[in-house]
Amino acid sequence: MQQFRRFQRIATGIAISACLLLSACAKDDPEQAVRLQVQAMQAAIDARNAGDVEDLLAQDFVGNDGMDRRAIRRLAAGVFLRHKDVAAKLGPVSVELRGDRDAIAHFSVLATGGSGGFLPESGQVYQVESGWRLVDGEWHLLNATWTPNL
């Protein structure tokens, strides 16, 4: 089990490094840059890092039920404390550009939390619609709505 966790940490580190490297290449392709930010959000969740989750949010972020940046960070931290293993597995991401500085990304996500076994203790599939804004050369999550799919 420890080898599996070590493998997960190494794989997450490689994924984050790849996202950072690819984001430098994606500056000329806004659609790809948004996709990479969605993947960075997944990596931050998989790494159980509430600060990295918050860093991807715009200053004026709004989520379900009016949740702001601070509420999302607290929610992520609470989930990470409650569940030993947390993961977000993304479905296909579709990106719709709206001008040069705005985009909408749609995707499904399987969010799981468990105690480290092969099957999660809990899980839910969500449909996500996320709005992204280009700020100082970086795409930030401006708003998101997530709806349970099961």
pLDDT on residue 28: 75
- Tell which wins on pLDDT, 96 or 14: 96
- How large a percentage of the chain has pLDDT more than 70? 76
Q: What pLDDT shows up at residue 26?
A: 46
Q: Where are the domains of the chain?
A: 2-148
Please give the mean pLDDT across all residues of the chain.
Answer: 83
Cβ within 8 Å of residue 20, ≥6 positions away: none
* pLDDT 10s digits, 90-120: 999 999 999 999 999 999 998 888 765 554 5
pLDDT value, residue 117: 54
Q: 38: how many CB neighbours lie within 10 A of its CB?
A: 22
- pTM score, two decimals? 0.76
Encoded tokens for 4: 């599996």
Provide the CA 110 distance to its chain's centre, in angstroms: 11
Tell the CATH topology of 2-148: Nuclear Transport Factor 2; Chain: A, (3.10.450)
Cα 11 versus chain centre, distance: 16
